[in-house]
């Protein structure tokens, strides 16, 4: 909230009321857009976790894929939450450094996990049968 207040104070210094309203509306729209994007970013990992949990021990082609979805979804939620918390207020320089390190490590772990999961998924791509529901690999 402090950031929005500072932005409005900068905008309020404009001499013209039309300029003030224009700049203020840009700030509000930007914050709503950011909230929508953040909401969407939280929905995708929840969907990943749900699909992985529903198909846990049910994937005949590659047993690791549902586990990959669950772990990737959880890691993405943790990464988004850490990013949101670390940016939510002013921290001391030592804490900011720690937040940066945590974000870096989570990002590297998630990158590794996405690469590993992509290998599992794309290696299983040719084994999946889409048109015969009686098949073992449907």
- Domain residue spans of the chain: 2-127
Residues 6+ apart with CB under 8 A from 91: 99
Per the model's pLDDT, the better-predicted residue between 66 and 14 turns out to be 66
Closest C-alpha to 76, from 50, 99, 109, 30: 109
Q: What is the pLDDT of residues 23-41, one digit of tens each?
A: 666 666 566 676 777 788 8
Per the model's pLDDT, the better-predicted residue between 13 and 91 turns out to be 91
> What number of H helices and E strands is found in the chain?
4, 0
Angle at 118 between CA 116 and CA 119, to 5 degrees: 65
- What tokens were used for 24? 């203020």
Q: Which residue has the tokens 């700030």?
A: 27
What global pTM score does this model have?
A: 0.67
Instruction: Tell me: pLDDT of 43 over 60.
Output: yes
CA distance linking residue 25 with residue 8, whole number of Å: 10
Residue 11 pLDDT level (bands cut at 50, 70, 90): low
Q: What count of Cα atoms within 13 Å lies in the side-chain half-sphere of residue 17?
A: 0
């Amino acid at each position: 909230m402090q950031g929005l207040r500072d932005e409005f104070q900068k905008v309020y210094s404009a001499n013209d009321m039309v300029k003030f309203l224009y700049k203020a509306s840009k700030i509000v729209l930007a914050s709503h857009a950011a909230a929508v994007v953040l909401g969407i970013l939280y929905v995708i990992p929840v969907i990943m976790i749900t699909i992985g949990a529903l198909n846990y021990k049910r994937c005949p082609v590659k047993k690791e894929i549902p586990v990959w979805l669950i772990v990737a979804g959880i890691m993405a939620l943790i990464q988004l939450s850490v990013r949101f918390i670390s940016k939510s207020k002013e921290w001391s320089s030592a804490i900011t450094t720690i937040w940066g390190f945590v974000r870096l490590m989570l990002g590297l772990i998630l990158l590794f996990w996405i690469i590993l999961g992509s290998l599992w998924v794309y290696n299983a791509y040719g084994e999946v049968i889409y048109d015969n529901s009686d098949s073992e690999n449907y």
